Amino acid sequence: MSESGETPNNYKKLAFLSSGTSEADGARARLVAKYGEVAPEEADCIVALGGDGLMLRTLHRFMGAGKPIYGMNRGSVGFLMNEYRESALRKRIAESKPSIIHPLLMRATNTHGDEFAAHAINEVSLLRQSSQIAKLRILVNGQERLPELITDGVLVATPAGSTAYNLSANGPILPLDAPLMALTPISAFRPRRWRGALLPDAAKVRLEVLEADKRPVSVVADHDEFRDALQVDVEMDHRTDLILLHDAGHSLEERILREQFGY
């Protein structure tokens, strides 16, 4: 045992990130005083203090770095976060369960011919950007699956993101380890009864905007928005691993399972 009463482990060097609220900043100050800190680039683990928004920003910031992220809730929702406690932090992290998730990779072209690319941990969504309803064409692996979807929008969600915007749009909750993506319409007008589709996570989805000048559409990858989209390609980026750590008995997989039973 160490002098602090914690079991020695591989998480000696910690970095603490705050969402910037007074509550999160205060928690960060106390934890740094108790455990010390190093720069995030040198850390064995990054501790995020805030809500789900901070967790998403932290995962984006360190995407590709291979660093585990352990969140503690100092925000409002906190679905991705652990309970906030200051004691025995390194022991909690060492005993936590890792969840490996993959982000979506979005590539888009707008009506001016500009090209954009971004990752999304939760979802890539196409949304009408005016009073005009959107008209979209959907292709999967190069084959047309829906020639015309008249809708407020549509989204492609990961299993980790299936409990976020996707669930609010009446999309399915996906188990974390399911090799699937959810394709979910947002207030679809026609086909009126189309509820979306479950796709293999190896699928390549193309979303084409019809009548783009008259019916402008924006594309959003988590928090990155691009206006006047014309064509959007979405696929799962299996080359990028993101590591979330959760306390034993409260893993992300367990939380998603609980959501399916309404508690």
Residue 122, annotated as binding a ligand: yes
Residue 39, annotated as binding a ligand: no
Residue 153, annotated as binding a ligand: no
Residue 142, annotated as binding a ligand: no
Q: Which residue has the tokens 């060492």?
A: 94
Three-class SS of residue 252? helix
User: Residues 71, 51: contact at Cβ < 8 Å?
Assistant: no
- CA atoms within 13 Å, Cβ hemisphere of 50: 18
Residue 168, annotated as binding a ligand: yes
Q: How far is it, in rounded angstroms, from Cα 87 to Cα 250?
A: 18
Residue 20, annotated as binding a ligand: no
Write the CA distances from 33 to 1, 14, 58, integer angstroms. Answer: 20, 12, 22
Residue 164, annotated as binding a ligand: yes
Strand partners, 28: none
CA gyration radius for the chain? Answer: 20
Catalytic pick among 44, 52, 237, 247: 52
DSSP 89-125: HHHHHHHPEEEEE--EEEEEEETTS-EEEEEESSEEE
Residue 188, annotated as binding a ligand: no
Residue 170, annotated as binding a ligand: no
Residue 167, annotated as binding a ligand: yes
The letter for the amino acid at 33 is A
44 is catalytic: no
Residue 177, annotated as binding a ligand: no
Point out the annotated binding site for NAD(+).
52-53, 57, 122-123, 152, 160, 163-168
Residues involved in catalysis: 52
Point out the annotated binding site.
52-53, 57, 122-123, 152, 160, 163-168
